[in-house]
Structure 1
Amino acid sequence: MNLTYLYNDGEFWHFMNNETFEQLSADAKAIGDNAKWLLDQAECIVTLWNGQPIAVTPPNFVELEIIETDPGLKGDTAGTGGKPATLSTGAVVKVPLFVQIGEVIKVDTRSGEYVSRVK
């Protein structure tokens, strides 16, 4: 079932059905490692069992801001290597050396890999 992610209250993640406006709450077990990919108003696939969420799948791609990373090297555009970057949700992904703090990047949530910079 496609539901819109609303917010996390510290214990539960809350979702809403956009057609009925019914709200459902998922616990940490249903969210698993996907909490780092959940953005407000993102449409997620929520698997229900007896009306309760048992699994939450975030969108395949999300756009997140880099809040912490090492400075890149001037002139490095291809970047055979990479560096870790902390994103606005707390997720850490490996990014090319030219990517800087404050930039927004596209990440594949299925693999946790950097895809591209967002213009």
Structure 2
Amino acid sequence: MVEAINLKKGMIFEQNGKLIKVLETNHHKPGKGNTVMQMKLNDVRSGAIIQTTMRPTEKVDLAIVDKKSAQYLYDEGQTKVFMDMDTYEQYELSQEQLKEEEQFLMPNMEVQLDFCNDELIGIDLPGTVAMKVVDTQPTIKGATAASGGKPATMETGLVVTVPDFINVGDTLVINTDNGSYKARA
């Protein structure tokens, strides 16, 4: 049992027979009243996104999640195919199950497959991923990293705010937790 205040992004718990993954948490103290935890949750099986609040002391049962190293291979229609790095067994996950992670998936990327009671429930991405810029505004002469930035579209369709000196074709390191620019690769 874990209290709601200790839940972090990526944790999976069981509630009313459903597996729920934490996408975001926010400790909120209104002017009047009790402190609450505002949470964005994902029902792992249905893919539904749930916005809810919990009392910080409310307890939930953490799910036991086993992890296996795997490699992302390819898309097959609305399905993503992964291969276990040890047994070469292939696993499939629907785009619905990978809503949050899909924009970071690159061919041949190594990920962790998450299993709960031998059921494949999702993946864990590495902390960062290197991607090429396919579209952005032209470089502004004399631009520095301190300016506000500009939007850049990455090869997976992800749009990231980058410094003004970034050009089309540059390879960037992107943080997979929040989709932010970290550095040039």
Question: Is this a same-fold pair by TM over 0.5?
Answer: yes
Of 69-78 and 16-25, deviating more is: 69-78
| Contact in 2 for aligned 1:83/1:95 (Cα 8 Å) | yes
- 1:14 equivalent to 2:100? Answer no
The one of 71, 78, 99 aligned to 2:138: 71
Q: Any unmatched runs of 5+ in structure 2?
A: 1-67
The one of 38, 47, 61 aligned to 2:114: 47
2:3 counterpart residue number: none
- What code does the residue aligned with 1:36 have? Q
1:34 counterpart residue number: 101
The size of the alignment, in residue pairs, is 118
Deviations 1:33-66 (A, max 9, x none): 2111011111111112343321222211110000
* SS at structure 2 position matched to 1:36: helix
TM-score when scaled to structure 2? Answer: 0.61
Q: Any unmatched runs of 5+ in structure 1?
A: none
Q: Which has the higher strand share?
A: 2
1:99 counterpart residue number: 166
- What code does the residue aligned with 2:69 have? N
Q: Which has the higher helix share?
A: 1
Counterpart CA distance in 2 for 1:94 and 1:37 is 15
Percent of aligned pairs with the same amino acid: 33
Q: CA RMSD in A?
A: 1.3
1:117 counterpart residue number: 184
Task: Determine which structure has greater relative contact order: mean sequence separation of CA pairs < 8 Å that are 6+ residues apart, divided by chain length.
Answer: 1
